[in-house]
């Protein structure tokens, strides 16, 4: 990531934080100050009132507000990044203000902190591919409830889905990635598994789904089975997306995984599904209407 893109990314991130956190508080503060000034006005002589439009030098909030005035074209798009490969100089560690967002972007550029652990992990009440409860099946609570509803809807149509894996810690991902390096070599391992910190499983928003029709395996063949086809066409109604669709590896950095679904929320998942895009394109929306 060059310096210009990194600067644009920082502006984009500040804008998201400002809109979601700072702006509501600022609006409340402005209203409160307005009330105080109004009361002071009615209780003072007009000659005592000092009017000023000046912004105090170094006013951080004013600087952030000014950044919002930048044209959309100044913000980064998904085309400014190379998500297909790891580049140590381009890797960005995800900031604390964004970690718990349902839209947190984790890939070969954006990395989770080693100590990140979602605080609301629960075990969804769904069928397991292994026939028993497993702590690695945990998800963040909102995502878990959505998964239960989705599995229930599939069951109502005669389709039985199983959860194969959910939350995976940094240390567990480190062990898994090293295993693939030891057994397949570094080049193959970089394709077959994410580096620790770069796995969506650490967010608690992801599950791998399978079924008896594929012998509980995680395989591309799942996409051609009734369960896989139903999942692809209906997951968005429950807030999930198939995170790594066919033919989008250049955008996501990961090959086709029809079993890997990610919770982002119903409106967001519906938009992504209906416009046939991936999360990277949704997060950096300047050109979200373009197809890869």
Tell me the catalytic residues.
257
Residue 231, burial from CB neighbour count under 10 angstroms (0-12, 13-18, 19+): buried
Q: How far apart are CA 232 and CA 159, in angstroms?
A: 13
Taking residue 25's Cβ as centre, other Cβ atoms within 10 Å add up to 10
Closest to 216 in 3D by CA, of 138, 124, 127: 127
Side-chain-side CA neighbours of 28 within 13 Å: the count stands at: 5
Contact status, residue 160 vs residue 227, Cβ threshold 8 Å: yes
Q: How far apart are CA 123 and CA 144, in angstroms?
A: 7
| Torsion angle defined by CA atoms of residues 251, 256, 262 and 268, in that order, rounded to the nearest 10 degrees | 50
Per residue, what are the HEC states of 178-223?
HHHHHHHCHHHHHHHCCCCCCCHHHHCCEEEEECHHHCCCCCHHHH
Task: Write the CA distances from 152 to 148, 157, 238, 266, 272, integer angstroms.
Answer: 6, 9, 11, 17, 23
Task: Write the CA distances from 211 to 149, 160, 219, 221, 260, integer angstroms.
Answer: 17, 7, 10, 11, 13
Distance of CA 94 to the CA centre of its chain: 11
Facing residues of 206 across strands? Answer: 262
């Amino acid at each position: 990531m060059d310096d210009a893109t990194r600067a644009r990314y920082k502006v984009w991130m500040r804008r998201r934080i400002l809109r979601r956190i700072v702006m509501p508080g600022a609006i409340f503060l402005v209203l409160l100050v307005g009330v105080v000034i109004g009361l002071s006005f009615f209780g003072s002589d007009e000659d005592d009132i000092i009017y000023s439009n000046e912004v105090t030098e170094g006013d951080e909030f004013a600087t952030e507000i000014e950044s919002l005035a930048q044209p959309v074209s100044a913000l980064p798009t998904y085309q400014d990044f190379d998500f297909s490969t790891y580049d140590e100089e381009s890797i960005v560690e995800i900031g604390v203000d964004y970690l718990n967002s349902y839209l947190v972007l984790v890939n070969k550029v954006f990395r989770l902190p080693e100590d990140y652990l979602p605080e609301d992990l629960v075990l969804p009440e769904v069928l397991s591919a292994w026939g028993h409860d497993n702590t690695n099946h945990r998800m963040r609570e909102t995502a878990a409830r959505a998964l239960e509803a989705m599995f229930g809807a599939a069951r109502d149509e005669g389709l039985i889905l199983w959860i194969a894996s959910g939350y995976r810690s940094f240390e567990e991902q480190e062990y898994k990635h090293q295993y693939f390096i030891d057994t397949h070599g570094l080049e193959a391992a970089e394709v077959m598994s994410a580096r620790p910190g770069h796995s969506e499983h650490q967010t608690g928003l992801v599950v791998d789904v399978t079924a008896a029709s594929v012998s509980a395996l995680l395989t591309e063949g799942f996409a051609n089975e009734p369960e896989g086809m139903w999942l692809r066409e209906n997951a968005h109604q429950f807030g999930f997306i198939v995170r790594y669709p066919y033919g989008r590896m250049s955008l996501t950095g990961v090959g086709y995984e029809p079993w890997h679904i990610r919770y982002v929320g119903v409106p967001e998942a519906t938009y992504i599904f209906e416009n046939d895009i991936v999360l990277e394109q949704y997060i950096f929306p300047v050109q979200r209407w373009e197809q890869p």
